[in-house]
Every structure is written in structure tokens, then in C-alpha cells.
Structure 1
Amino acid sequence: MELDDLYRRVIMDHYKNPRNRGSFEGDAVTVNLNNPSCGDRITLQLKVEDGVVQDARFQGEGCSISLSSASMMTDAVKGKRMEDALRMAENFSCMMRGQDVDFDYDDLEALSGVNKFPARIKCATLAWNAMRKGLEQKPDVKE
């Protein structure tokens, strides 16, 4: 199996079987973002305690890249310190600019080819931008 086929399968698996889809009852950092150029919409919720992302959930509509990225991102940041989650968001942005980065969540590499399609980069980064916005509005973020 070629690497492109494997990446396509990982993306479609997250799209058809999204991880962490849903919402929380009660307190959670909630961010709503959309990508007007293609219609992607996401509501991201984060449970943050003592500077750690305890849990993450999302709801939304969009293309396979947008929703797969949201699934991967929510899975990847759970249990991470806020600073580490923000660093992951920066690394993801670097990957979208074509730079080589390493993640401790291997599925994210499946989105590395998106940088070849500039119109789709906003799809892939939507959930990450929502996470960044949510964590930056928390008062205990340390840069």
C-alpha cells in the first residue's frame, strides 16, 4: 500500500468514525468558528483543569479534511498541558506551510499532503484555530 493510500484511509476513518464528536453538559470552554469559503463549521468544547486539557469534543459540518482534522486534534490534545497543546497547534500550522514536524500522534501526518492544496489548508486548520482561540481565552495560559 502506498503512503498516499494509507493517509487517505486514515483521513476517511476519522471522517466516518470521528473521535470525540459531541458536546459537554456544564462548564467547558466553547468556541464556534466557520470557514466561509467552503462552509465548514465547528463548535469546539474543551474541559481544562489546572492547565491541562482534560477532554475535548466537537460538533460541526464540513468536508472530510475539516472533520478529520477536528477528530485528530481532539484526540491529540487530551491530557496535554495547555502550552503543549498550543505548541502542537503551531507545529500543525508549520506542517500546513510544508515544514517537517514530528507529532506524538501519528495520524496527524495523514494531513501533511493538504499543504499542496492551498484552498484546503483553511479546512485542515479550522479546528486547530478554534482550539488555540479557546486556550488563549483561558486566564491560566502560560506562553
Structure 2
Amino acid sequence: MQLHDLKPNAGSNKRRKRVGRGNGSGKGTYSGRGLNGQGSRAGGTKGAGFEGGQTPLAMRLPKLPGFVSPRRIEYTPINVSTLEARFENDAVIDGAALKAARLTKYEDEPVKILGDGELTKKFTVKADKVSASAKAKIEAAGGKVELPC
């Protein structure tokens, strides 16, 4: 077999339908559009969701209340009990350490340390936000909180 012997499988390639090229072609006169009406006109089809002039379903449904700011910052919450379980004593906890411990996906991800759980180890925490109870527990254990990182 050589390159000039190659050809597509039978029926895999179809010729496109050439409409409006005379009655002998089988698609002359009305070109498959029927007689009169919206469908026979150029640009005569309406978009998805058009319901013949009736108010579309998407417009009849009630709107959801509230507003979410596009500039809102979503903080990843991490409790002191998680820090206790994942880090050694005297550890420096920053974005890189949190990513290495697989608590965050990215180093520069915004993080807020929360005060749920007990803390016995001493840490230096560099986070974007720390709750008051978490700060009290970290400092009570002999650690330090540095804001913002």
C-alpha cells in the first residue's frame, strides 16, 4: 500500500447540500424552507429560550435575593487543632508550610487561623488573619503571631 492508494471508507465523506441552485438539483425554488412564514426568511430563527412572544421561563422565575461582591476575599479556615496535629514544636507556619502540609492548594492562598481545639506546641504563625481566640491560644502556648504575612 502506498499513499496514492489511500482513500476514505465508503460513506464516511458526504457532499454538502447545495441549496438554491435550480430545480434540477432537487433543492431549488424554496430551497427546502417551505412557503411563507418566519422560517422562510433570512435570519428567521429565534434564539434558544424564545417562546413565541410569551414571556420566557427564565424571566418568569423569581430572582435570587442578595449580592456577592466580586472583590470578596475567601479565606481558607484552619483550626489550631489542625496545626497541633500537622506541625512539630517550634515550627514556622506560613504559606509554604501550609502548602507542604497539604492544608492549602497554593502558597499565597488567603488563610484565617481559627481557635477550635487545644494547643500545646509552640508555633510562629504567619497568616493573613487570626481569630482572637486562636491568637490567645498560640500566645498562651508560647508562640508568636505575625500579621499580615
Q: TM-score, normalised by structure 1?
A: 0.25
Greater length-normalized contact order (CA 8 Å, ≥ 6 residues apart)? 1
Richer in strand (by share)? 1
